[in-house]
Amino acid sequence: MGCGITTVKYLLFIFNFLFAICALILLIIGALTLSDVNEEDLTIYAICLIVVGAIGFIIAFYGCCGAIRESHCMVVTFAVFLLIVLILEIVLGIFLYIGREEIESALTESYDYFEHYRTGNSAIDKEVDNTQQTFRCCGLDGPDYWTRQGFAVPESCCEDPKPSCADYYNMGCREVIDFILELFAVVGGTIFGVTALIE
C-alpha cells in the first residue's frame, strides 16, 4: 500500500512539474508578444496567455508542494484549481482558434513594415526597430537584407545599439515571426488536444 501511495505522489509531482513548464512557456510567449506588439488585436491574446500561464504556474507549484508534503487539503485544493485552469484553457483555446486569422494577419503585416522602413514613416521605423530589438533579429532574413535594400544595417540590429556597432544579430525576423505563428498554432492545438483527451 505504501509503495502505491509513493508512486502516486511522485507521478503527481512529475505531472505538476511538466504542467509548470507548459504554463511557463505560455507566460513567456505572452510576455514576448506583449512587449513587441503595439496592435490592440494581439494585445488581448498576449494578456490572456500571460494570465493563464501565471495562474497555471502557481497552481502547478501548489500541486508539487501538496504532493511532496502529502497534504490531503493541498491536493484537493489543487484539484479544484486545476479544474478552473482547465476551463480557462478551453476558453483560451477557443479564443485562439477563432482569432487565429486575425493573429496571423497582424504578425505577417510585420513583413510589410520591413518593406517600408526608412520611407519617412516614423511609426513603421519604430515598429521595425522594436521588433529587431525585442526578438534579437535583423532584417527579414539577416543583416544582408538591409544591404540589399541599399541601407546601412540599423543600430537596432545590435545588442547594444550604437553607430560603431558591427556585431549584428544573425537571425532574420521572418524566421522569428514564423516561429511565433507556429507557437500560436501549437498552443491552440495542444489545448484542444488535451481537452479532448480529458473529456
Residues 83 and 110 in one domain: no
Report the distance separating Cα 103 and Cα 188, nearest Å: 12
Over residues 44-53, the mean pLDDT reads 80
Higher pLDDT, 100 or 133: 133
- pLDDT tens track for 63-79: 888 777 877 787 778 77
The number of domains in the chain is 2
Chain-wide mean pLDDT for the chain?
77
Range picked from 46-60, 102-116, 182-196 for highest mean pLDDT: 46-60
pLDDT tier at 146, thresholds 50, 70, 90: very high
Domain membership of residue 183 (yes or no) is no
pLDDT tier at 39, thresholds 50, 70, 90: low
Question: Does residue 199 surpass a pLDDT of 50?
Answer: no
Question: Does residue 111 surpass a pLDDT of 70?
Answer: yes
Report the distance separating Cα 138 and Cα 145, nearest Å: 8
Task: Kindly report the CATH number assigned to the domain that includes residue 155.
Answer: 1.10.1450.10
Residues 151 and 77 in one domain: no
Residues 58 and 27 in one domain: yes
- pLDDT tens track for 157-180: 887 766 677 788 888 988 888 887
Residues 32 and 86 in one domain: yes
Residues 18 and 89 in one domain: yes
Query: In the chain, what percentage of residues exceed pLDDT 90?
Result: 2
Residues 114 and 83 in one domain: no
Residues 73 and 125 in one domain: no
* Close Cβ partners of 97 (under 8 Å, ≥ 6 residues apart): 188, 192
Total H helices, total E strands in the chain: 7, 0
Q: What is the pLDDT of residue 40?
A: 58
Three-state SS at 159: coil
Question: Does residue 186 surpass a pLDDT of 80?
Answer: no
Q: What is the pLDDT of residue 41?
A: 57
CA proximity to 59, closest of 93, 35, 23, 89: 23
* Domain end point (choices 39, 69, 98): 98
Residues 76 and 123 in one domain: no
Other residues' Cβ atoms within 10 Å of the Cβ of residue 151? 12
- 12 and 63 in contact (C-beta within 8 Å)? yes
Range of the domain at 36: 2-98
Over residues 96-113, the mean pLDDT reads 72
Report the distance separating Cα 97 and Cα 103, nearest Å: 10
Question: Does residue 90 surpass a pLDDT of 60?
Answer: yes
What end-to-end distance do the CA atoms of the chain give, in Å? 29
Question: Does residue 8 surpass a pLDDT of 50?
Answer: yes
Residues 45 and 122 in one domain: no
